Amino acid sequence: MQTYAEQVFEIAKQAPEYKQMFQITGVPTVNSGIGGALFKPWDQRTRSAHELQLDLQQKWAQIAGAQVFAFQFPPLPGSSGFPVQFVITTTEPFENLNDVAQAVVAKALSQHAFFFADVDLKLDKPQATIEVDRDKVAALGLSQSDVGSALSAALGGGYVNYFSIAGRSYKVMPQVQQVDRLNPEQVLNYYIRTPSGATLPASTVADIKYSVVPESINRFQQLNSVTIAGVSGMAQGDILKFLKDTTAQVAGSGYTVDYAGESRQFVQESGGFFITLGFAIIIVFLALAAQFESFRDPIVILVSVPLALLGAVMFMTMGFASLNIYTQVGLVTLLGLISKHGILIVQFANQLQRGGRSKRDAIEEASAVRLRPILMTTAAMVLGVVPLVVASGAGAAGRHDMGLVIFTGLSIGTLFTLFVVPAVYMAIGADHSGLTAPETAEAA
């Protein structure tokens, strides 16, 4: 193992960005190890951590006889282990579970979805089981417990009592000599006493069956489980969806999927994002309904929200960013920023209607008058997030993702708002022209 560790170190230190490295061999098992590489500060290198990861992964993969993989620590605390941890659970035997897991991993590797992938279920532990012939035992007048007690007494090494020699007490632990318990076959040479007092070898009533069993039995939610862990170059959401679809194809109906580590945190937080976004829309809708004293005007204002979100998501699907905690914060922020456009137009149009204008004339004049403040506020916000979009240095990835969502969503959302909000206002907007009729009659 030390030889492979030295090869990993030699490759890492050749990188211009290399600063120092630590390695621990024999952890968590004797044929594995772990290490970490520290690079120079951002102002002293040109490549990002992701670029260095891909470069080192490509070079380390060429080390013959070892599987070496590179991954980064999660950007947020709360998880540990591999970036991708996909869990398959079932009530079926581990042999069937292993076949499903190996099929999923094989398909993932064939599609180049992983730099490295492995399963924690290892069917490589030899096991010897003593099988007792019940009929022969009964014919000799013995019982299963008699055979078990005789063999356990020879192998168990359990405490029986104490005996004294020269004033000191010693434990009595009956057990055959070590030379007689080195191999499983030697168990059949142990003697068993029958009710008649005769002794006979255990091979008379027993046999040994050899099999291969898992090194450890893993449970997840009290079910038999296997965890597929690895490092992928795909986005977290894409690789988890690929593994889930692949499992559905190769496994039967008795299998379910779950997640662990960083993958579990991603799935849970992704589900929480849609709940947060839904609550934000409800709160904004209720606040606008109270302000405008109408349930239709808030709908006109919020019609620009899906358009802005569509513009941001469009650039995310094109590969400029992924759905992560930073883009999620940007999307929620975008909801509030884009709503003000509709507020400016609808509020002024309502005032014009109360002044005696028709609905069409009011929305046309409101769109024209409010065009300049809408463009000015949009330009101010868009230009304000440009430093985030072009950010560099430590933490630039998070700032870039958040800035990109606000930049693209606000720009595209504003463009659509100028055309869609007036049309929706004409279709479902409340008619406020009749509110001034009582006031005019009293004045007359």
Write down which residue in 23, 46, 70 finishes a domain.
70
pLDDT, position 434: 60
Same domain, 311 and 434: yes
CA separation for the pair 47, 140 (Å, rounded): 79
* 280 token code pair: 């934000």
Q: What percent helix, strand, coil does the chain show, rounded to 5? A: 55, 15, 30
Task: Look at residue 87 and tell me if it is in a domain.
Answer: no
Same domain, 163 and 65: no
Is the peptide bond preceding residue 28 cis, with omega within 30 degrees of 0? Answer: yes
pLDDT, position 391: 84
pLDDT, position 321: 84
pLDDT, position 440: 38
**CATH at 379:** 1.20.1640.10
pLDDT, position 76: 64
Write down which residue in 198, 213, 228 finishes a domain.
213
- Say how many CA atoms lie within 13 Å of 15 toward its Cβ: 29
Contact 12, 40 (CB under 8 A): no
* 62 token code pair: 């060429």
For 219-239, b/e burial (b = at least 16 CB within 10 A) is ebeebbbbbbbbbbebbbeeb
Same domain, 134 and 63: no
Q: How do strand 223-231 and strand 219-220 relate by DSSP bridges? A: antiparallel
pLDDT, position 404: 92
Same domain, 434 and 308: yes
Write down which residue in 27, 43, 70 finishes a domain.
70
SS (H, E, C) 194-229: CCCCCEEEHHHCEEEEEEEECCCCCEECCEEEEEEE
What sections of 296-395 are H helices per DSSP?
296-302, 304-317, 325-354, 359-369, 371-384, 386-389
Domain of residue 353 covers 294-443
pLDDT, position 336: 86
CA separation for the pair 256, 225 (Å, rounded): 10
Q: Tell me the C-alpha to C-alpha distance, in Å, between residue 158 and each of 148, 152, 162, 169, 176.
A: 14, 9, 12, 16, 12
**CATH at 37:** 3.30.70.1430
Same domain, 329 and 198: no
Tokens 């905690």 label which residue? Answer: 325
Report the amino acid identity of residue 327.
Answer: T
**CATH at 191:** 3.30.2090.10
Same domain, 17 and 136: no
DSSP 73: P
Q: What is the pTM of this model?
A: 0.65
Q: Tell me the C-alpha to C-alpha distance, in Å, between residue 181 and each of 126, 187, 262.
A: 17, 7, 46
Same domain, 130 and 36: no
Tokens 């008379």 label which residue? Answer: 204
> What phi and psi, each to the nearest 5 degrees, are found at residue 193?
-90, 130
Task: Look at residue 244 and tell me if it is in a domain.
Answer: no
How many domains does the chain divide into? 3
Same domain, 301 and 410: yes
Q: What is the pLDDT along the chain (444 residues), one digit of tens a residue?
A: 888 899 999 999 999 999 999 999 887 777 888 898 999 888 888 888 888 888 898 898 888 888 888 888 776 666 677 889 999 999 999 989 999 999 999 999 998 888 888 888 888 888 899 999 999 989 888 888 888 888 888 887 778 888 888 889 988 888 888 888 889 899 999 989 888 888 889 899 999 999 888 888 889 988 999 999 988 878 788 899 999 999 999 987 889 999 998 888 888 877 777 888 888 889 989 998 998 888 888 999 998 888 899 889 888 888 788 777 788 888 988 988 888 888 999 989 988 988 888 888 899 999 999 999 999 999 999 999 999 988 877 778 888 889 999 999 999 989 888 889 899 988 888 777 665 544 433 433
Tokens 């699907």 label which residue? Answer: 317
